[in-house]
Amino acid sequence: MKTIFFTLFAALLFSVGLAHAEDLPQTNLPREKLSIGIHQIDTQLAVTSEQREIGLMFRQEMPQHEGMLFIFENSSRLCFWMKNTLLPLTAAFVADDGSIVNLENMKPQTTESHCSTKPVRYVLEMNQGWFAKKGVKPGTKISGRLFRP
């Protein structure tokens, strides 16, 4: 009887775990070092459509020196929202040369759109307040091997 109960309990736990597997943050994305002046950023790269779709959803925390860089195939006017994203973030919409076009503060768990003011290929999401604390504004350049001079 104990064996049957244990087997049923284990099966229930396993099925509950699978049901919520899609609610887990993505953690094994490729990384790239970026810099803004003297400030170093350890970025996770969201390159595929699935990686970009999930982004920073379900994250409970993110270290202050880390962010996520969304990379798109072509420049276009991009819009982001925060559905299932638990952290307050700021999105930097970034041109091909690494210059920040505009910054948008985004509230957690909302579907409000935050858009680039010009066509861009990159979006760097950081903890809200990071850019302001570092004095980063539109026009500031981000350095890294991904950006063309």
Tens digit of each residue's pLDDT (9 = 90 or more) over 75-129: 999 999 999 999 999 999 999 999 999 999 999 999 999 999 999 999 999 999 9
Would you say residue 65 has pLDDT above 60? yes
The pLDDT of residue 23: 67
Q: CA 76 to CA 84: how far, in whole Å? A: 24
Torsion of Cα atoms, 68 then 69 then 72 then 76, to 10°: 100
Residue 140 per-residue DSSP state: P
Note the pTM of the prediction, 2 decimals.
0.84
Q: CA 119 to CA 113: how far, in whole Å? A: 15
Both tokens assigned to 141: 């350049």
Return mean pLDDT, the chain: 87
Taken in order of first residue, the domains within the chain and their CATH numbers are 28-133 (2.60.120.1140)
